[in-house]
Chain A
Amino acid sequence: MKTFEEKWTAWLDGQLTGRQLAEFEASLPDRAAAEAEKADAKKLGGLLKRELRAQTLANEEFFNHQLRERIACEHAMPIRERNASIHTWWTIRRLLLTGTASLAVFLIFAIFVTRDKNPAGRSQYLTQILNARVDPVISPNATISMFEAKEDRVTVLWTEGLQSLPADYAAK
């Protein structure tokens, strides 16, 4: 059994038909006032439907909206980064300074350590004899050889058969 309010709502919505409609309208104490109220309710319903419907955006408005959102994001990002940099130790500046300091330490080691580690035994650091010749007229039997005394880092050009000279030639 429906209450009066339910029947009233159904009547306003136009959902009562036939015998139910006739009985309800007969039960109304002031039919004219009820009709006026029904008309107002319909009017209000129509107005609400029209105004509260989701607004569809035109193309131009849609793109404007997208742009505004993107700009808002871009503006918001540096703030986030700035906030993050406050909390982290490895700022760009510190990274640069650390890199420079590391380079300086490397150079100091490279200079002092590698300089002292100069390989004494390597032949490129020994004196090299590129060529040698004697006058074949003065010393026809002369021979030349060369060798390196690596232990003492000395290079020797060894000649044999050069013209022998008297002791007087040892004079200063």
Chain B
Amino acid sequence: MARGKWLLIVFIALILSAVPTLRSAETVWSGLVIAENVAQPQPIPPELTRVERPLKQLFGYNQFQVIGQSRKTLQTGQEDWLATSKFFGLHVDARGETEAGYLLNLKLYKEKELLLETDAKLSKRSPLIIKGPQVGGGQLLLVLVVQ
């Protein structure tokens, strides 16, 4: 009886020790966001609530609207995907996974023109915000968050 209890404790400990090594599939949300100052701002989309404060503080706009988005569940860390709006496209190419996050190559297209390219190590705990071109009275922002 006592031996069984000890074995159970050891078994649980081993299972728990293995938990960090079991990597669950994670989802990366990528969004094309138009930031504007309007008289009657719409509530911030739920995808952006995590970054609401830095968005407002850093860019000084009161309304943020998602014009294109993609939610990709990463299994291997080698996937690629596209978030598009009518005129913009954000191509995300995952090139590997580290303990800290995903290595991504990002390309922002305006129709077929490549406006901006960057390589980033996207942390699972730290969103990435990219300031894009001015669009009308607002600003195009690219937001990537590991959910």
Residues of A within 8 A of B (CB): 97, 100-101, 103-105, 107-108, 111, 115, 118, 120, 124-135, 138-139, 149, 152-159, 162-172
Contacts and interface: CB of A to CB of B under 8 A. Distances in A.
Given A128-B121, A139-B115, A156 B86 contact: no
Contacts of B113: 135, 138
B119 A130 contact: yes
B90 to A, nearest CB: 13
Interface string B36-66: 1000000000000001011001100000010
Nearest to A97: B6
B146 to A, nearest CB: 9
Contacts of B136: 165-170
A110 B67 CA distance: 43
Contacts of B133: 139, 159, 162-165
Interface string B6-21: 1001101100110110
15 contacts: A100-B6, A101-B6, A107-B13, A129-B119, A135-B114, A138-B115, A153-B126, A157-B128, A162-B134, A165-B133, A166-B135, A169-B86, A170-B138, A171-B86, A171-B87
Q: For chain A, what secondary structure do more than half of its interface residues adopt (helix, strand, loop), or is it mixed? A: mixed
Contacts of B132: 159, 162
A46 B33 CA distance: 127
Contacts of A149: 54, 57-58
B67 A170 contact: yes
Given A132-B117, A152-B54, A159-B116, A171 B128 contact: no
A167 B67 CA distance: 13
Given A165-B134, A169-B88, A129 B13 contact: no
A163 B51 CA distance: 26
A167 B85 contact: no
Contact of A111 (B9, B19, B88, B100): B19
B67 A157 contact: no
Contacts of A130: 118-121
B125 A134 contact: no
